[in-house]
Amino acid sequence: MIEKTIAEKAAEAVNALYHANIAAEDFQIEKTNPEFEGDYTLVVFPLARFSKKPPPDTAKEMGEYLVGQMDELSGFSVVKGFLNLSVIESYWVDLFLKIIQEGNYGFAKETEKQPFVIEYSSPNTNKPLHLGHIRNNLLGYSIAEILKANGKNVVKINLINDRGIHICKSMLAWQKWGEGETPESSGLKGDHLIGKYYVLFDQMHKTEIKEMVHRGFTEKDAINEAPLMQEAREMLRKWENADADVLDIWRLMNSWVYEGFNETYKRLGVDFDKTNYESQTYLQGKEIVEEGLEKGVLYKKPDGSVWIDLTDEGLDQKLLLRSDGTSVYMTQDIGTAQRRWDEFRPGKLLYVVGNEQIYHFDVLKKVLKKLGRDWAGIIYHLSYGMVELPHGRMKSREGTVVDADDLMDEMFETARKTTEELGKTDDFSEEEKKSLFQMISLGALKYYILKVDPKKNMLFNPEESIDFNGNTGPFIQYTYARIQSVLRKSEKRIMDLTQHLEKSSIQITSVEKQLIQMINGFPQIVAQAGENYSPALIANYCFDLVKEYNHYYQSTPILKRVEPEVAGFRLVLSHFTGKIIKKSMGLLGIDVPERM
């Protein structure tokens, strides 16, 4: 890249002019601010200590040297301590002609054989997927695609939380009040049916708590000693002791949930290479805890519960096994991490989990390290912020969550209404309309969520996300379709035009240069998104590229009133811009329509 060449020549210039040695990577080179003339800006202030001259004089001397030594530069200007360098027009043409010959531009070949394991989704089998799960799934899937584009050998894993007290709450409520209700008899998806009983348990439990408080119990004691909670704990003990009747109910209800989950995953467009179940990993965690007891790393309290002391790590004491022998989340996560290590020997084990679990993963790494697992350092918690709605937070127990299925239905209807009002589907068949509305609705949902930095909390506004103007998925999808429309109007094949472009006959405009510069930056954006685990970098790059192309489309004739050679170049530039848009959106898990 030319920035590297400029840095290397700048290092050479400092040595020649001021007899000082500076590494090329120490120079600060940025794209020139649009309000000034030039393409790249070299920050000269740090060089004044070598030149012993004011920054503007130093910049002038550096500029004269660089322009004299580099054929790629046509001139320079000085603004205080900033050296703005202009690149010759033919450089950009030559660069573009090289770029369009690359087979899979912007993406690296798979260079790492060591697996990069990424876990996302991780739903509980006591409720359907909701808006928070959507952010988790979209982040996990997109990051996996971005890592693949960076040459990583990615393994995508879903760990289903299919055991524990919360699962028993749904099971107990169905057993007591379900009267044999099934997905078929109720007309509900299996995960929605189970969620209904999870909410019912909470309602009945609150009734018991209220009665007990009225009888003189403290609220804390009432919560723990309420009959329903006692029954749920007993059911969990029976489950861990492999009680046949409890296991039968558990398998039946989980089978309903899995069918519901799979339907939602398919519609959302996410998938996994492997699915693990906590019911298969918690026992391994308990074995490791027993191992830690034998080695004296862990200790047992008089009530039989097992703990680890992390006070020397700046934390507290952490429960690993309850007094009744049942495991906690930490126990099963220890077992799951060990299983991942044994199976894959990964270079990185990345967990996509909300930021409310930052402490949990800090503890997990420290526990594993104390237990002698030197590989604990490969664990990375990608914490993401909460998704809120205009009316506030969601609560599963109280039934105030926004179900993923309901949200996708709402998005579909909004996309249908908005698109039809704009008259964009007048010549579409009903099947084509349905496919387009689905594409637009999911594009709107995914883009709106992924354009936000993962670490930030976000407010999701469904109506705002489906806007054909502004920083939205539909705006980008429409621009891609517009490019395809331009290409269809041409009678020439892009492949033929690409092969016969003559560098000498191409004179580019300032907008075309800007488009080429942005296309040139695509590989770097993909690399940065992989390093930072941030789909937001891809999303906002794509939006900027689309804005620039729309400016180009509005200001520059592409097919009419131009010479055939010029039209040929502009078609190829449009075509390749479309390819980058499609690749970028693909990294976000978003499809783009050929027409709309």
Q: Give the model confidence (pLDDT) of 207-226 as tens digits.
A: 999 999 999 999 999 999 99
Q: Which residue has the higher pLDDT, 561 or 321?
A: 321
Task: Cite the residue boundaries of each domain of the chain with CATH code 3.40.50.620.
Answer: 120-388
Average pLDDT in the 234-262 region? 95
- pLDDT given for residue 596 in this prediction: 85
State pLDDT tens for residues 45-98: 999 999 999 999 999 999 999 999 999 999 999 998 899 999 999 899 999 999
| Domain at 120-388, CATH class | alpha beta
Query: Are the C-beta atoms of residues 2 and 90 closer than 8 Å to each other?
Result: no
**Distinct helix (H) and strand (E) counts, the chain:** 23, 14
Confidence of residue 489 (pLDDT cuts 50, 70, 90): confident
pTM assigned to the model = 0.90
State pLDDT tens for residues 517-545: 999 999 999 999 999 999 999 999 999 99
Can you identify the CATH homologous superfamily of domain 408-587?
A: Isoleucyl-tRNA Synthetase; Domain 1 (1.10.730.10)
State pLDDT tens for residues 120-175: 999 999 999 998 899 999 999 999 999 999 999 999 999 999 988 999 999 999 99
| Domain at 2-87, CATH class | alpha beta
Task: Cite the residue boundaries of each domain of the chain with CATH code 1.10.730.10.
Answer: 408-587
Amino acid letter for position 260: G
Task: Cite the residue boundaries of each domain of the chain with CATH code 3.30.1360.70.
Answer: 2-87
State pLDDT tens for residues 356-374: 999 999 999 999 999 999 9
Instruction: Kindly report the three-state secondary structure assignment for every residue of 201-255.
Output: HHHHHHHHHHHHHHCCCCHHHHHHHCHHHHHHHHHHHHHHCCCHHHHHHHHHHHH
- pLDDT given for residue 464 in this prediction: 84
- pLDDT given for residue 320 in this prediction: 94
Greatest mean pLDDT among 128-132, 326-330, 446-450 lies in 446-450
Query: Are the C-beta atoms of residues 538 and 528 closer than 8 Å to each other?
Result: no
